[in-house]
Chain A
Amino acid sequence: MAVMPVDVTAVATTGQAGRKKRGDGKAATGFLTPSMLGLLAFTAFPIVASLIIGFYNWPVIGAHTFTGLKNYQTLLTSKEFHTAILNTFVFVLLYLPLNIVISLGLAVWIGSKSIKAPGLYRTIFFIPAVTPVVANAAIFSLILAPNGLIDSLMQTWFGVQAPNFLGSTTWAMPSVVMLSIWQGFGYNMLVFSAALDAVPASLTEAAAIDGAGTVARFFRIVLPLITPAIFFAVVLTLISSFQVFTQAYVLTGGGPGNATTTMVVYLYEQGFQFYKLGLASAVAWVLFIIILVITIFQFIGQKRWVHYDQ
């Protein structure tokens, strides 16, 4: 019965509420305008502009000319761009699974009963994620360089030289992946930790009583329950790993050869070193479409493996 008066008032004041809403709309617009302007000026405008610039030959200094689809044709036929796409996929295929497995593994380990101070470990493992990538990359290049930490240790212990990690076409990409994982696993680890904490103990206990071992409990009970978190982590990590730039740029400058030139490194080169803004914008849109398509497929595919019902 307590609900009734509220309903009555709502019905009775429909007319007033309509006018009131109108007033709120104005106020809301006022409050929203600053951030809307920011969004328009710094997000919407650049997005539209890059789409338009992509159809132009647009040097920074000098006249720009409309060239239609020529930038996209250039990309289609460019060997370097094909290499950049390939490198990006290689990076994603190495980085994504390793990142998920490592961050999930650590989250499970930290969550296990044998760990006394899980908060401490979470903090320690999260530190790389909040330190600046450039600084991390600079330190990694000191570690990986010839006569660096790894090389010196290998010479002292085994008397053999370590590979020239960053100067070798074979090792450069694995080095970039390694730095990225070290830098990036902390965030997903936190996501997984939170998801693991939310798994009801009653379920795992019930499974234990029914005779399920540790492994079975993890794969049959825990893992299905945290699939929404895994899905979330996979989607976001995949998007960010397609955009990999800083690690490759600082560690190897995209080299040796084009061994670590990813799509965004290529974009940066064309746009901000060679000042071909039209071509760089076209690269951005190709990258956007690739990410969009893959993300759409992920959302379609999630029905097969993500369980939202607890």
Chain B
Amino acid sequence: MRLSWLTKTLTVASAAVLLAACGGNSGNSGGSSGSSGGPVTLNWFMWSGSDVEKNAWLHVADLVTQKYPNIKIQFETTPFNDYWTKLTTEAASGSTPCVIGLQGQRAPQFGNLLVPLDDYMSKAGVKASDYVPSITKGLQYDGKQVALPYDVGPLVMFYNKDAFKAAGLKEPAVGWTTDEFMADAKALTQPPKYGFWAQSDISALMPWVLSSSGKSALNADGKLDVDNPEWHASAQWYTDLVSKEKVSPQIPSANSSSASADQFLAGNAYMRLDGPWDLINARKQAKFKVGIAPMPAGASGSKTWSDGSGFGVTKDCKNPDEAFQAVSVMVGEDAEKYLGNAGRAYPALISTQSSWYEGNKTQDVKPVMDAALQSAVPFTTIPTWQQVVTTFAKQAVATYNGQGSVDDLLSQTQAQGG
């Protein structure tokens, strides 16, 4: 008797606790509902790495309220890496915030959480063609536009201008080739200083494959396709940079994606691949002049990928109309100019890109940015891309350091294609 009383109490109590917890979560997802035109509070979830970044987003949120006084934005943020974990758990519990940030390469993973925006766009007169095509395409899911981009960036070569000068080398410019890159890297390398710093990320190898063979990580059917002769050749060439030509130091560990940036800024490596999103910060931090060059041209020309991020409206959102209005302001002219000027983003809205050059005195890199954007392909991925990234990075450390074969690297990576 007593036992059953106890169990009953506990069951009821624990159920109450669980229900209360669930109810609390689902309640705040859509924000307060209201008829069109009435006051609406929208949750906006976006990553940010510092208070400066967070404040920039808060300013963008204010811009939304300025244009649509009935819309209030409640901003939520976490650092970039936690962002995707939190987004996943929120999606699992059906409590995704109304407006979320999305990176192009994650679109296949999260695209099904988002509302297609095409109808909203045509009604509101928002034209996809006003934005950089590679990133508008990158933010599509199932052929539908699920997010509108605020920034874009092609992967380019960062180089240490002072080191090139000291070595008496001609600075890399639009039109330089892989052979010239190799010659420069060799001339610059004097351990413990290196001409180049290799990275174990698959995204750092992709531009080399693109430039030598024109192949991306996916085939025409959108399936992962990396275990092929073209990828083999480029991966072997890249491995040789570390273990044969020794123009790049060994990869320090499988968990050191920041090592490359740190070592470049510390002046221990004179070239590395990076995106314009890091340029302004790098110029502030480095004690030398930082220049950028397009990918060195291989047999297939100078090709790179470009990725970017944007904002979309989630299916959980109870006020999709207002949410779209908010998004249209977040990627609109005022916000883009502000973000460009502040150096927070290289604007995806083409008409506002000059703000990035003028606001940050980066006019010198415009020819390179133009060339790189011209030759960039979208960073297309598959839903299991995180498995590809993780598996590649771990094995690449061993392979690049001479403790594993390129066959292993590419066959293990290919196995993550699902």
User: Which residues of A does B touch, CB under 8 Å?
Assistant: 25, 29, 33, 36-37, 40-41, 45, 60-61, 141, 145-147, 164, 166-170, 172, 249-259, 261, 269, 272-275
Contact = CB atoms under 8 A, between A and B. Distances in A.
B10 interface: yes
B255 to A, nearest CB: 3
Contacts of A254: 254, 394
27 contacts: A25-B2, A60-B91, A61-B88, A61-B92, A141-B253, A141-B255, A141-B256, A145-B253, A145-B259, A147-B192, A166-B254, A167-B250, A167-B254, A169-B404, A170-B403, A251-B255, A252-B254, A254-B254, A254-B394, A255-B255, A255-B397, A255-B398, A256-B254, A257-B394, A259-B398, A273-B387, A274-B384
Contacts of A251: 253, 255
Interface stretch (B11-19, B166-174, B225-233, B296-304): B11-19
Nearest to A141: B253
Nearest to A60: B92
The secondary-structure label for the interface of chain B is helix
B375 interface: no
A257 B398 contact: yes
Given A60-B89, A256-B403, 7 more contacts: A166-B255, A253-B255, A253-B393, A255-B398, A257-B395, A257-B398, A274-B384
9 cross-chain pairs, A with B, having the tightest CB-CB distances, nearest first:
A255-B254, A253-B255, A166-B253, A255-B394, A256-B397, A256-B398, A257-B398, A253-B254, A60-B92
A272 B86 CA distance: 11
Contact of A41 (B18, B113, B249, B404): B18
B403 A169 contact: yes
B224 to A, nearest CB: 14
Contacts, number: 116
B247 to A, nearest CB: 15
A250 to B, nearest CB: 7
B296 to A, nearest CB: 25
B36 interface: no
Nearest to B13: A37
B401 A167 contact: yes
Contacts of A146: 249-250, 252
B255 A168 contact: no
Contact of B393 (A29, A166, A169, A255): A255
Nearest to A145: B252
Contact of B252 (A60, A166, A169): A166
Interface residues of B, number: 39
B187 to A, nearest CB: 21
Nearest to A40: B14
A146 B387 CA distance: 28
Given A37-B17, A60-B92, A166-B253, A273 B6 contact: no
Given A37-B10, A146-B249, A164-B250, A255 B395 contact: yes
Nearest to B408: A257
A198 B251 CA distance: 51
Interface string B385-418: 0110010011101100101100010000000000
Contacts of A169: 398, 403-404
Contacts of B14: 37, 40-41, 45
B219 interface: no
Contacts of A61: 88, 91-92, 112-113
Nearest to A170: B403
B95 interface: no
Interface string B1-37: 0100010011001100110000000000000000000
Contacts of A250: 255
Contacts of A167: 250-254, 397, 401
B85 interface: yes
A168 B91 contact: no
Contacts of A256: 251, 253-254, 394-395, 397-398, 401, 403-404
Contacts of A274: 384, 386-387, 390
B88 A257 contact: no
A166 B259 CA distance: 13
A33 B18 CA distance: 15
B88 to A, nearest CB: 5
B268 interface: yes
A257 B402 CA distance: 12
Contacts of B387: 273-274
A250 B6 CA distance: 45
A164 B252 CA distance: 6
- Of B113, B256, B408, most A-chain CB atoms within 10 Å: B256
Given A252-B253, A257-B397, A168 B10 contact: no
B79 to A, nearest CB: 14
A275 B88 contact: yes
Contacts of B10: 33, 36-37, 40
Contacts of B88: 60-61, 275
Contacts of B393: 253, 255
Nearest to A253: B255
A40 B9 CA distance: 13
Contacts of A269: 390
A61 B251 CA distance: 35
Interface string B263-283: 000001000000000000000
Contacts of A33: 9-10, 13
Nearest to A30: B9
A258 to B, nearest CB: 7
A274 B249 CA distance: 30
Interface string B371-383: 0000000000000
A147 B268 contact: yes
Contacts of A41: 14, 17-18
